[in-house]
């Protein structure tokens, strides 16, 4: 039976966290760490999943059997994609699905979205169903929403389209940018973020202080609009200033942490043009925009501040059949 290997990249949010959940734009880039999914069509009407990085070995069910009432955490996104795909396209055969992750899921670099996009693409390939990137995005985004209950979809779009994107909530706008090789240093704060928790916590704050937080989101949106042009012009000094302004608002919104703040300050003191958290906050990674001759100093400063360096290149290709 047919077998296919598909890979998709991780992502980093450059500008626009949280505001993008509320119909503002963001800027996101892919990075060169990838998730792989190998999917084989089976003669039996059975689903088999192995995802060793998240502790899943020989998870199985029949096609007729609904998913377990308590689906193991490591297969929730895959199960969501499978259920949507099988309901929509009704293939008659089962699949054996194996994942391997080129980066730790603890870093918050989008492994859940990447594996969802890979699975959707692999299923379409194996069952010979032609799906555009937009249809892959819609399917994987629906799966992510079913698991998390919320999310803007920017990370799913990054995995699908690759490169650097200007993105608006739920894929209302997905625009690739030029000049995506951005000189970043990335470091993990040592704490895994809980994105749904962070988004829900900020949603409650927004209910209590609507006009103030809406103004903050509007300001973030303006930073993103300028950032789009700045990236295409390779004006890294100005992009650094925009990142710093974005981080200040994120601190005021209460989504940064003392460890992230310490790392960001260390990067700026060591000569970075700009530095900010990347993603939902509450942990995960920060990024610093650096000129080549300052890179080593910034990296050393981040390690001293308690960060774990995550080597990345930006603006890489999106999902692909290997």
**Tens of pLDDT along 57-107?**
989 999 988 776 778 888 999 999 999 999 999 999 999 999 988 666 666
Fold entry, domain 184-309: Alpha-Beta Plaits (3.30.70)
The domain 3-179+316-321 having CATH identifier 1.10.10.10: the answer here is no
Q: What's the pTM value of the predicted model, to 2 decimals? A: 0.94
Among 61-65, 129-133, 213-217, 268-272, the range scoring the smallest mean pLDDT is 61-65
Q: What is the mean pLDDT of residues 149-163?
A: 94
pLDDT at 70: 78
- For the chain, give the secondary structure using H, E and C: CCEEEEEEEEEEEEECCCHHHHCCEEEEEEEEEEEEEEEEECCCCEEEEEEHHHCEEEEEEECCCCCCCCCCHHHHHHHHHHHHHHHHHCCCCCEEEEEEECCCHHHCCCHHHHHHHHHHHHHHHHCCCCCCHHHHHHHHHHHHHHHHCCCCCHHHHHHHHCCEEEEEHHHCEEEECCCCCCCEEEEECCCCCCHHHHHHHHHHHHHHCHHHHHHHHHHHHHHHHHHHHHHHCCCHHHHHHHHHHHHHHHHHHCCCCHHHHHHHHHHHHCCCCEEEEECCCCCCEEEEECCHHHHHHHHHHHHHCCCEECCCCECCCCCEEC
Residue range(s) of every CATH 3.30.230.10 domain in the chain: 3-179+316-321
- Give ranges for CATH 3.30.70.890 in the chain: 184-309
């Amino acid at each position: 039976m047919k077998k296919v290997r598909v890979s998709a990249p991780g992502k980093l949010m450059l500008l626009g966290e949280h505001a993008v959940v509320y119909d503002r734009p963001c800027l996101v880039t892919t990075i060169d760490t990838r998730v792989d999914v190998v999917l084989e069509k089976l003669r039996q009407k059975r689903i088999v999943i192995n995802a060793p990085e998240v502790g899943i070995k020989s998870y199985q069910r029949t096609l007729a059997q609904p998913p377990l009432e308590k689906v193991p955490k490591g297969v929730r996104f895959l199960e969501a994609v499978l259920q949507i795909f099988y309901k929509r396209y009704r293939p008659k055969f089962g699949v054996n699905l194996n994942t391997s992750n080129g980066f730790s899921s603890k870093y918050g670099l989008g492994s859940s979205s990447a594996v969802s996009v890979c699975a959707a693409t692999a299923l379409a390939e194996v069952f010979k169903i032609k799906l555009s990137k937009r249809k892959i995005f819609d399917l994987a985004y629906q799966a992510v929403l079913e698991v998390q209950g919320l999310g803007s979809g920017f990370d799913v779009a990054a995995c699908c389209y690759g490169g650097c994107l200007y993105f608006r909530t739920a894929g209302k706008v997905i625009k690739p940018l030029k000049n995506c090789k951005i000189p970043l240093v990335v470091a993990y704060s040592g704490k895994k973020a809980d994105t749904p928790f962070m988004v829900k916590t900020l949603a409650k704050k927004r209910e209590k202080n609507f006009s103030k937080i809406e103004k903050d989101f509007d300001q973030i949106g303006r930073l993103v609009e300028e950032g789009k042009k700045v990236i295409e012009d390779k004006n890294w000094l100005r992009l650094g200033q925009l990142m710093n302004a974005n981080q200040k608002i994120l601190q005021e919104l209460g989504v940064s942490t003392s460890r992230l703040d310490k790392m960001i300050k260390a990067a700026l003191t060591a000569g970075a043009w700009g530095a900010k958290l990347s993603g939902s906050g509450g942990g995960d990674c920060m990024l610093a925009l650096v000129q080549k001759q300052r890179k080593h100093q910034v990296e050393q400063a981040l390690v001293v501040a308690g960060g774990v360096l995550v080597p990345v290149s930006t603006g890489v290709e999106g999902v692909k059949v290997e």
